[in-house]
Amino acid sequence: MLQLNSNQLIKQFSFSPSKFLPKTISSLISKSKSNSNSNSNSKSNSKLKSEKNLEEKSLLKKMYSSSIEKGNLNQENSKTKSQMFIIFTCKKCSKRSGHTISELAYNKGVVIIRCPRCQNLHLIADNLGWFANLDEKERNIEEILKKKGEKVKKITNDLIEIDPESIITEKTDKKILIENHSQNSIVENNLKNLGFELPQPAKAAGIYTPALKIGSFIFTSGQLPTQNGKLFGEGIVPEKVNLEQAQKCAQIATVNALAAIKNEIGSLDRIKRVVRCNVFVSSSQNFNDQHKVANGASELIQKIFGDKGVHTRCAIGVSSLPLNAPVELDLIVSI
């Protein structure tokens, strides 16, 4: 009888185990092969990602060091919060470039970057609202900068910064900034044309702030329909204040909310969208027209801001409001 060891068998025959094994076992073998292939693919993908990250880091390092060599960045100041280094990609030609910018200008002023390849100007930050009411295609940055004149500070040929501290003093910066914007504000002109004057913002009557900026959103506290420190109307709707008067109250409260927003951000022209309007109406149990009272505010907002004024809304009937006010209102806007 012929006897062969395992090595001889392997030499004598070449066979595929899956042909002789049960289907379940052969399927497991094929699955393990596919898994190993997918693992190798994922490894290669992760390798590509890590290589890409390394490339980006090296690019950042080169741009950072070249910025120091050109004298745009002081190594000692770069570690402080006063400066920040960014990589910018041009929308027109996709050129990437590194820039050191003032953190103050980025957060409170204006920053414009010129692409070193195509020389196209790009608006990076506009906290002063200089370009707020201009569409990106219609925006002529150079013309607007010429009008601003001495306020514009060129850091390099590729970077323009408008630092609020270079325009106004530290102690009265917000006050002067507000006064300057009021002269040419489109939103405030719209208000005047509708018969409303933006008042001084009401001081907080408790432990709260009239308006608060969180990211790109501004939230106001509840605003009452006060004019010159007095309520326009008092009591519940409709017994003490009729529907038409209540709508007027909602409009006055809206104007007061806008005053609080302006005090927080400097210019109402910075508002990109009115997001939400909440209206609380002090009303009797039989009154069901709270939404009609809220219409007074909504219609005014849309007349002031146009399409940017289309918002979400909530109209709520309550038994009473602070100081016996008939209406209280708050706004959420994005900038």
| Domain-ending residue, one of 167, 188, 212 | 167
Res 14: pLDDT: 41
Residues 156 and 188 in one domain: no
Q: Mean of the pLDDT values across residues 121-138?
A: 67
Q: What share of the chain is helix, strand, coil (3-state, %, to 5)?
A: 45, 20, 35
Residues 110 and 256 in one domain: no
Question: Looking at the predicted structure, is the pLDDT value of residue 174 above 50?
Answer: no
pLDDT digits 0-9 by tens, 294-304: 999 999 999 99
Task: Give backbone dihedrals phi and psi of 169, rounded to 5 degrees, phi first.
Answer: -75, 160
Angle between helices 186-193 and 290-305 (to 10 degrees): 130
Question: Looking at the predicted structure, is the pLDDT value of residue 146 above 90?
Answer: no
Q: Is residue 146 part of a domain?
A: yes
Residues 195 and 113 in one domain: no
Res 152: pLDDT: 57
**Whole-structure pTM value:** 0.53
Q: Is residue 7 part of a domain?
A: no
Residues 125 and 194 in one domain: no
231 forms bridges with which residues in the sheet?
226
Q: Is residue 61 part of a domain?
A: no
What distances in angstroms separate CA 264 from CA 109, 203, 259, 298, one per listed residue? Answer: 14, 13, 9, 22
pLDDT digits 0-9 by tens, 231-274: 999 999 999 999 999 999 999 999 999 999 998 888 898 899 99
Residues 162 and 262 in one domain: no
Residues 276 and 201 in one domain: yes
Number of domains the chain is built from? 2
Q: Is residue 40 part of a domain?
A: no
| 241, 234 Cβ separation under 8 angstroms | yes
Angle at 73 between CA 68 and CA 78, to 5 degrees: 110
229 forms bridges with which residues in the sheet?
none
Q: For position 258, which CATH number holds?
A: 3.30.1330.40
| 315, 294 Cβ separation under 8 angstroms | yes
Residues 154 and 216 in one domain: no
Q: Which domain holds residue 247?
A: 179-334
Residues 161 and 104 in one domain: yes
Which is higher by pLDDT, 68 or 243? 243
| 181, 132 Cβ separation under 8 angstroms | no
Question: Looking at the predicted structure, is the pLDDT value of residue 181 above 60?
Answer: no
pLDDT digits 0-9 by tens, 33-54: 555 555 555 556 666 666 656 6
Question: Looking at the predicted structure, is the pLDDT value of residue 32 above 70?
Answer: no
Q: Measuring CA to CA, which residue among 135, 128, 96, 93 is closest to residue 110?
A: 128
**How much of the chain exceeds pLDDT 70, in percent?**
59
